[in-house]
Amino acid sequence: MFAQIFVNSIISGSIYALNAFGFTLIYGTMQFFNMAYGINVMLGAYLFYILWSICHVNFALSIVLTLIGVAALMVGVDRATYFQLRKRNVPSWVILITSVAVQVTFEACTSMVFGNEMHLVIKDIPKSYSVLGASITVIQISILLVSILVMASMSIFLKRAKIGKVIRAIANDKNMALVIGVDVERVYVLVIILGSLLASIAGILISFETNIYPFMCHPASLKAITASMIGGVGRLPGAMIAGFLLGIAENFGAWVVGSNWKDAISLVIIVLMILIRPSFFGIEENR
């Protein structure tokens, strides 16, 4: 039992890490606590479902079109909403509330089109292997490998590519980047695209393993925020490690107290992190 729970924890943790990587990339660069980040996950899952399961488009082409479609849509949402607010220099909480409204709107639209029922993308029972007493499927192995490969590739890109260095420079000091002539808004668009790609991939991987439904945005956003808080908001390596730790905490916690408490574990972790390290979130302690 222990081995099986640990394997399940690593698989779910890899998706959490991938999701948290994108959330933290956006926050670290744009200082934007995007409560609607889970939309990318949901849209990635549903668009892939439409293309591959309903329209029977080629598997690889379905993935490519999904990634392009979600990224383009998220850039459009940013230009129509968040960008307009940034130009007006509104308080950060206004943009945060706007992101909540954006998520609710997308959830409602998806629910109107597809209904509230769950949909299964892969209906065939995948082949499984026994590893140290735990059962692991081919799909789960693929999820783990793809997640690690994508995060490693993105990390190398941010460290070595010229534009990656520009992104890190803006994250470190936006005002200095403006002084030396960096087009910050253009870089923001790229960051939104990269964050969307990471979340969309997470959504596709989730659709391989579990059912998809319109309100999957909420747990996706919650896990991304929780992992980011554990690893330190804005810290990419910490977010990745924290994703795996969150997967372990949730699965073993659910084993002890029941699966109905799985999402509650994330909320408890958020509260504990705020109490233990409030400086991570810009919260001033009253003395």
- pLDDT value of residue 228: 78
Listed by start position, the domains of the chain span 2-281
**192-246: per-residue pLDDT in tens?**
999 999 999 999 999 888 889 888 888 888 888 887 777 765 567 777 787 788 8
269: pLDDT strictly greater than 80: no
Quick one: average pLDDT of 107-133? 82
pLDDT computed for residue 271 by the predictor: 72
For residue 284, the model assigns a pLDDT of 47
Whole-number percent of the chain with pLDDT over 90: 32
Average pLDDT over every residue of 64-78:
95
Name the average pLDDT for the chain.
84
Q: Provide the pLDDT for residue 287.
A: 45
Q: Cβ(269)–Cβ(230) under 8 Å?
A: yes
Average pLDDT over residues 86-101: 90
Q: Among 184, 165, 185, which residue's Cα sits nearest to residue 176?
A: 184
Selected residue with higher pLDDT from 209 and 108? 108
Q: What is the pLDDT of residue 13?
A: 86
Q: Give the model's confidence band at 100: pLDDT under 50 very low, under 70 low, under 90 confident, else very high.
A: very high
Per-position DSSP letters for the chain, written without gaps between them: -HHHHHHHHHHHHHHHHHHHHHHHHHHHHH----TTTHHHHHHHHHHHIIIIIIS---HHHHHHHHHHHHHHHHHHHIIIIIHHHHHTT--HHHHHHHHHHHHHHHHHHHHHHH-SS-B-S--SPPPEEEETTEEEEHHHHHHHHHHHHHHHHHHHHHHHSHHHHHHHHHHH-HHHHHHTT--HHHHHHHHHHHHHHHHHHHHHHHHHHS-B-GGGHHHHHHHHHHHHHHH-TT-HHHHHHHHHHHHHHHHHHHHHH-GGGHHHHHHHHHHHHHHH-GGGGTPPPP-
* Chain segment 76-90, per-residue pLDDT in tens: 999 999 999 998 988
Rounded to an integer, what distance in angstroms lies between the CA atom of residue 151 and that of residue 29? 17
User: pTM of whole model > 0.75?
Assistant: yes
pLDDT of 285 reads 47
**Looking at the predicted structure, is the pLDDT value of residue 74 above 50?**
yes
What number is the average pLDDT over the span 11-32?
88
pLDDT tens digit sequence for 11-21? 888 888 888 88
Separation CA 236–CA 134 (nearest Å):
30
- The DSSP bridge partners found for residue 130 are 135
For residue 277, the one-letter residue type is: R
Give which of 27, 25, 20, 30 is closest to 83, Cα–Cα: 30
Tell me which of 22-36, 57-71, 219-233, 263-277 is least confident.
Answer: 263-277
Closest CA to 222 of 196, 251, 250, 194: 250
pLDDT (average), residues 50-63: 93
Residue type for position 17: A
CATH hierarchy code of domain 2-281: 1.10.3470
